[in-house]
């Protein structure tokens, strides 16, 4: 009988230890869920999002997975107008990430796809309100476009991004051999102000919330993405033709 009582006592102790272990497992699980909730939900309350930011661009940031029909408007086209793939970019000439995309990614895209007739590119203006030179720079490019030098002027604006100013715009026009008097008259008259603003309004409606934003055959790619990100989408589009 003594042996049986000892066994029963040992069994009760064992059951208690198991119960206690299970309780702590449950408590630990609840605490873990609480920590995850705090990290993912509470943390965002202390940060105010910036409307229409410059975007450094991480793969998938603000991406819209579905394809959209993007209007080319009457903006200048770089490349073969009949190219099977179209890249429409919404950019700001004063945006540093747009400048990075122009310097680091655009040359390779141009070499591999635009110059080979596979891709055409359309630049649509998206001047951010906190970049004071974004709007006048965009208007200057449009005025250069009136004289057939849109893309050449576009390139010079990005090459001189740190110097954007009212004094730079006629200098660039002169360097490109434009009629500077007509160019300045165009700029002073605000001839293209509404056109630039219309680009911005349309981009906003299309889901653009920062610069640069690209649409590759309607597939959105956000930020200063590496060449490989563009290549993946472009090659997929070419393969589907």
CA distances from residue 229 to 185, 223, 235 in whole angstroms, order as listed: 41, 11, 10
Contact predicate 94/161, CB 8 Å: yes
pLDDT in tens, 169-206: 999 999 999 999 999 999 999 999 999 999 999 999 99
Q: Which of 98, 114, 212 is nearest to 155 (CA)?
A: 98
Return the number of other C-beta atoms located less than 10 Å from residue 89's C-beta.
Answer: 23
Higher-confidence position of 16 and 155: 155
Average pLDDT score, the chain: 81
In the chain, at which residue ranges do the beta strands (DSSP E only) sit?
77-78, 85-91, 119-125, 213-216, 219-222
DSSP string of 101-162?
A: HHHHTHHHHIIIIITTTSEEEEEEE---TT-TTHHHHHHHHHHHHHTT-HHHHHHHHHHTGG
Q: Is the pLDDT assigned to residue 33 strictly greater than 90?
A: no
CA angle, residues 54, 58, 102, in degrees to nearest 5: 55
How confident is the model at residue 40, as a pLDDT? Answer: 30
Q: Is the pLDDT of residue 7 over 60?
A: no
Is 85 within 8 Å of 216 (Cβ atoms)? yes
Task: Give pLDDT tens digits for 205-226.
Answer: 999 999 999 999 999 999 999 9
* pLDDT at residue 9 greater than cutoff 70: no
pLDDT of residue 62: 44
Domain 77-239 CATH superfamily: Glutaredoxin (3.40.30.10)
pTM, to two decimals: 0.74
> What integer pLDDT is reported at residue 56 of this predicted model?
52
For 77-92, what is the mean pLDDT?
97
């Amino acid at each position: 009988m003594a042996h049986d009582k000892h066994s029963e006592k040992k069994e009760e102790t064992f059951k208690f230890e198991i119960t206690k272990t299970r309780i702590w497992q449950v408590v630990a699980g609840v605490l873990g869920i609480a920590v995850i909730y705090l990290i993912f939900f509470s943390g965002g309350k202390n940060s105010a999002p910036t409307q229409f930011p410059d975007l450094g661009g991480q793969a998938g940031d603000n991406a819209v997975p579905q394809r959209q029909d993007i209007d080319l408007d009457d903006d200048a086209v770089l490349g073969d107008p009949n190219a099977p793939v179209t890249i429409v970019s919404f950019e700001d000439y004063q945006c540093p990430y747009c400048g990075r995309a122009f310097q680091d990614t655009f040359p390779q895209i141009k070499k591999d796809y635009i110059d080979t007739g596979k891709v055409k590119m359309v630049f649509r203006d998206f001047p951010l309100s906190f970049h004071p030179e974004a709007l006048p720079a965009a208007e200057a490019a449009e005025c250069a476009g009136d004289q057939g030098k849109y893309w050449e002027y576009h390139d010079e604006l990005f090459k001189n991004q740190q110097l954007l100013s009212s004094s730079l715009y006629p200098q660039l026009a002169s360097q490109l051999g434009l009629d500077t008097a007509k160019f300045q008259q165009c700029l002073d008259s605000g001839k293209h102000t509404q056109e630039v603003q219309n680009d911005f309004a349309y981009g906003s409606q299309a889901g653009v919330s920062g610069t640069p934003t690209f649409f590759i055959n309607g597939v959105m790619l956000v930020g200063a993405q590496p060449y490989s990100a563009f290549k993946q989408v472009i090659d997929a589009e070419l393969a589907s033709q």
